[in-house]
Amino acid sequence: MSNRIAKRILGGLMLTIVAFSGAGVGAGTGAALAAGGGDAAMHETARQHWSWGGMFGRFDKAQLQRGFQVYKEVCSACHGLKRVYFRNLAEPGGPGFPIERVKALAKTYEVDDGPNDEGDMFKRPGLLSDTIVPPFPNDNAARSANGGALPPDLSLITRARDVHTDVPFYMVPWNFLRNVLTGYQEGGADYTYALLVQYHETPPKGVTVAEGMYYNATFPGNQIAMPPPLSKEDPFKYQDGSGTIEKNAADVTAFLAWAANPELEQRKKMGLMVMIYMLIMTILLYLAKRRIWAKVEH
């Protein structure tokens, strides 16, 4: 029996050594790749530093406000945010715009409502209780205006997209454990940022781009119907006059990450409280166990 236990312990130690030795390999090849791209999507989607990353991360309110500006001026011409309400723009944990400013913004939109007393539909100015009005009345209108392609709604885009790590199969458990311990959940944001900045006017040698398509090193298959929304030569300028394609992409990605997970800060606070509670309970149970069994003779 002792030999069997010793063999099991030795086997566990060997597995541990293999896992941690493989961590060095994973560190060298641990860049995230766009999922689903196969051999064509070879661009490495590096992990970005996001303010809300990790267990204690929080959204940067100023960045969210800049990101909403980029969305409104650049992205909203084709993409909607049907799961985001105007009032959310003024709530804690989000962009935190002044409520009066958000009310004024909502009034600039026309919202379908009704029926009225005569049974007719009508239009009215937007209210805080309305969702952000989409650019097209329905999917068919959106397809017609975009050459048959349907621009996706961006409410959950950073949760609907993700990246995977191109490492050997035996490193998958290690990467999973690392992501759990570091609280990594920004794969969709990393992918979205990379997609926005990885347009190239000239594709690599030997790559042919179909008519009406654009080359993107991150998008699976590397050909995308969406024209480059952001420009390196003419980026979106903020009120202070600053602005680069990288900053535009990071800001709008942060805003979309908040739109997809507006309760993130509240959830992290609750999780921290639960962990502290469990730690205190563990200590109390251990002390109780020591006291109860202290006088028991072995």
The 3-class secondary structure across 256-274, one letter per residue, is HHHHHCCCHHHHHHHHHHH
Give the pLDDT of residue 71.
98
Query: Quick one: pLDDT at residue 298?
Result: 57
Is residue 70 predicted with pLDDT exceeding 90? Answer: yes
pLDDT at 11: 52
**Taking 60 as the threshold, does the pLDDT of residue 182 lie above it?**
yes
Q: Which pLDDT band, with edges at 50, 70 and 90, does 3 fall under?
A: low
At residue 113, φ and ψ (nearest 5 deg) are -145, 170
Per residue in 41-57, pLDDT (tens digit) is 446 688 899 999 988 89
Average of pLDDT values for 154-177? 87
**Cβ–Cβ under 8 Å, residues 86 and 130:** yes
Which amino acid, one-letter code, is at 168?
P
pLDDT, greater one: 37 or 163: 163
CA 298 to chain centre: 56
- Reported as a pLDDT band with limits 50, 70 and 90, residue 166 is confident
Q: Where are the domains of the chain?
A: 270-298
Rama region for 52: left / alpha / beta (φ>0; ψ in -120 to 50; rest): alpha
**Helical residues (DSSP H) of 109-263, grouped into ranges:** 139-145, 157-160, 172-182, 187-197, 245-260
| Closest listed residue to residue 84, CA positions, set 114, 128, 124 | 128
pTM, whole model, 2 decimals?
0.81
pLDDT above 70 for 31: no
- pLDDT attached to residue 292: 87
- Give me the count of residues in the chain: 298
Both tokens of residue 274? 């639960």
Strands (E), the chain: 32-34, 44-45, 110-113, 122-125, 163-165, 214-215, 223-224
Alpha carbon distance 180, 116 (integer Å): 53
236 pLDDT tier (thresholds 50, 70, 90) = very high
**Mean residue pLDDT across the chain:** 85
Distance CA 161, CA 12 (A): 36
Is the per-residue pLDDT at 287 higher than 90? yes
Bridge partners (DSSP) listed for residue 287: none
Closest alpha carbon to 226 in 123, 125, 157, 178:
157
pLDDT band for position 81 (cuts 50, 70, 90)? very high
